[in-house]
Chain A
Amino acid sequence: DIQMTQSPSSLSASVGDRVTITCRASQGIRNDLGWYQQKPGKAPKRLIYAAVTLQSGVPSRFSGSGSGTEFTLTISSLQPEDFATYYCLQHNTYPPTFGPGTTVDIK
């Protein structure tokens, strides 16, 4: 299986901060990567697919970059509703695998 790692595992930030989360794959996955946001008790919500494409309806403060083995999710100006856990997902190779998650909480 392709192993996905994320850093940091958690971070504390303030409203208005720029936040960057990194996801690394154990082998190259081209751009077959998505980013998901999950709030407590809710299903994950897709933010980004194909590494850089913003899901329709997702605010433009979210952006994705990267290809191959290293990817980033950036929130340009953190808003109160962005406090959540973020997961990356690779779907290049079966089985699809998720990163362990990054929890963003309020400083």
Chain B
Amino acid sequence: AQSVTQPDIHITVSEGASLELRCNYSYGATPYLFWYVQSPGQGLQLLLKYFSGDTLVQGIKGFEAEFKRSQSSFNLRKPSVHWSDAAEYFCAVGARDTGRRALTFGSGTRLQVQP
């Protein structure tokens, strides 16, 4: 079974600073990988996804993520954080070879942005 680890529960950065949120996964083959963002009281919005091909994936709101097979990682990055990026971020892995087709989520990283 697949699993996802987000080692940072909470991160605080200053507005304009760069950001990297860590995500490590466990899966026997090449997975589908996703990053979602959840603003307070809201549902989850897809930021980006990796399926195959280029390991650097561009998403919405200026985010990108890099799939590193050797490290089983899919870290999310943004070069300059805006106050509106304050939210909770979830990494998720999807299995290619199961009938269930559901996602396994990490426990989330809460991002706080200081002015």
Do A and B truly interact? no
